[in-house]
Amino acid sequence: MSNLFDTLKGRLAGNTKRIVFPEGSDQRILEAASQLATEGLVQPVLVGKQTEIEQKAMSFNLKLDNVEILNPEEYPEFEAMVASFVERRKGKASEEQARQMLLDENYFGTMLVYMRKADGLVSGAAHSTADTVRPALQIIKTKPGIKKTSGVFIMVRDEEKYVFADCAINMSPDSQDLAEIALTSAETAKLFDIDPRVAMLSFSTKGSATSEETVKVAEAVRIAKEMKPELTLDGEFQFDAAFVPSVAEKKAPNADIQGNANVFVFPGLESGNIGYKIAQRLGNFDAVGPVLQGLNSPVNDLSRGCDANDVYKLAIITAAQAL
């Protein structure tokens, strides 16, 4: 695990990124922000009331040197932010509604990223995934050619690294969604020095069973290969055929992937979420994430059960995504 973050930190040296934390008075956020600011790889921007945040930090014995604190109620460029928000929402929010919405820390923080006042955002220690993701989808939006954001986990055990997708966002992706998830997951893999070999998973290998579910995955493979022919990608595979060379030899001898996949795209959120937790709990893998992908600027969602170290790590990842 340390190797993974050493690599990312190496890239950030001399490329300090400003990362917004909307939950500025949360103890875990304060601990992580203090550490990040001390190391100088990330410039933390905390959202909240300055006196409240400073008092909290003092009570936890934390230094906030080089940590910026912004209060939406006192932000000097608030009116410019309101105008920018109204324009971005294209008639879906009046000026009055915008003023109200931008007092919400997640909307305020997301607008800082949109207006290039920050490079990325980390939230979710005290908010739901929807509270973090909704402003990002409304304001930052997805990259051209990508309809939906998705969430991956980087599964790490000693020298082994894999990407599991989508384990966090899309409940019932269709073939087009799965193809997009595959391509964005391959890009995320490169960020973590993984040369992507993408397996599209199912309960069938290369037509060994036929149903609506298996046809959906096979169609996703076709679409993804059309969108990015140079990417090493194949399916549909059962997990063993994607991961074990001897099984691949028997079940899919002509496939582009021969039991050597390192990016696994699950057919739905149910299987993805169950799959990463099994690897984490039974296989003793560290699950880093969820890392949100497909957005124009990086926004990442913490688990409400996170600790300060999780916040620290996700901030490093977010900063690396912004490079």
pLDDT at 6: 86
Cα angle 214-217-219, degrees, rounded to a multiple of 5 = 110
Residue showing tokens 């006042």: 117
Domains 2-141+296-321 and 150-286 share a fold: yes
| Spatial distance between the Cα atoms of 50 and 68, rounded to a whole number of angstroms | 9
DSSP per residue over 63-98, as a string?
--TT-EEE-GGG-TTHHHHHHHHHHHHTTSS-HHHH
pLDDT at 288: 86
pLDDT at 129: 86
- The pLDDT tens digits of the residues spanning 167-218 come to 999 999 999 999 999 999 999 999 999 999 999 999 999 999 999 999 999 9
Residue showing tokens 């309960």: 203
List the domain boundaries for the chain.
2-141+296-321, 150-286
DSSP 208: S
| 1 pLDDT more than 80 | no
- The pLDDT tens digits of the residues spanning 252-311 come to 999 999 999 999 999 999 999 999 999 999 999 998 888 999 999 999 999 888 899 999
Length of the chain equals 323
Alpha helices in 204-244 (DSSP H): 212-227, 239-243
Mean pLDDT to the nearest integer, 146-164: 93
> What H or E segment, with its residue span, contains residue 54?
helix 50-59
CATH class in words for 2-141+296-321: alpha beta
CB 152 within 8 A of CB 169: no
SS3 call for 125: coil
User: Is cis: bond before 26, omega within 30 of 0?
Assistant: no
| 14 pLDDT more than 90 | no
Q: Closest by alpha carbon to 264, among 161, 169, 175?
A: 161
| 102 pLDDT more than 80 | yes
| 135 pLDDT more than 70 | yes
Q: Per CATH, is 150-286 categorized as 3.40.605.10?
A: no
Q: Is 61 left (phi over 0), alpha (psi -120 to 50) or beta?
A: left
> What H or E segment, with its residue span, contains residue 157?
strand 150-157
DSSP 294: S
